[in-house]
Amino acid sequence: SDKMARSVFVTVGTTSFDDLIEEVDKRETLEALVELGCARIVIQFGRGLQQPVRLPALIHEVNSLVHLESFAFAPSIAPFLEDSDLVISHGGSGSILEALRAGKKLIVVINRKLMHDHQTQLAKKLSDEGYLVYTDTTNLLSTIKSKKWLNLTPFPKVDNDAPSPFIPILNAHLGVS
């Protein structure tokens, strides 16, 4: 099979997003990732109560060669981003920016339960620009299978002298002019 997503990193940043972890912790999701050549799944579940409890047994049934790692927090997620082909992230601007700057294929999963859904605006804007694909937990599986995330525009490399193209987007998003 094609190794389109040999290593997948799921991150919720400093928050909790139990619905996302629960969605990843399912046979259908595992099968879809294995179908994409996934051999390693790393899940950072943050402050959430939900941990990937089903995956170890599922991996044993579906493909015992898949390596699973999960943890609440790490001093830096940079090494995990570095090692991944596909990042599945919550909608926080910090996590989005870090994944894009690392040059990763990115699926952003919106938390529909958040009161003020600023996340959707930012994800939508960056999705319109072709830098990421965004979805919600209900549609995560079909988004993974759609492979739309394979055809993303690489995020512009940040030249330290030049202003980041992200700044105007972020300012608009934060309501700063």
**50-65: per-residue pLDDT in tens?**
999 999 999 999 999 9
pLDDT digits (tens, 9 = 90+) for 143-162: 999 999 999 999 988 766 66
Phi, psi (rounded to 5 degrees) for 86: -130, 130
Q: Which are the contacts of 34, defined by CB distance < 8 A and separation ≥ 6?
A: 62, 63, 66
Residue 46 confidence (pLDDT): 97
pLDDT confidence band for 44 (50 / 70 / 90): very high
- HSE-CB at 75 with a 13 A cutoff on CA atoms is 0
Kindly state the average pLDDT of the residues 80-109.
96
pLDDT tens column, 103-130:
999 999 999 888 776 778 899 999 999 9
**Spatial distance between the Cα atoms of 129 and 27, rounded to a whole number of angstroms:** 32
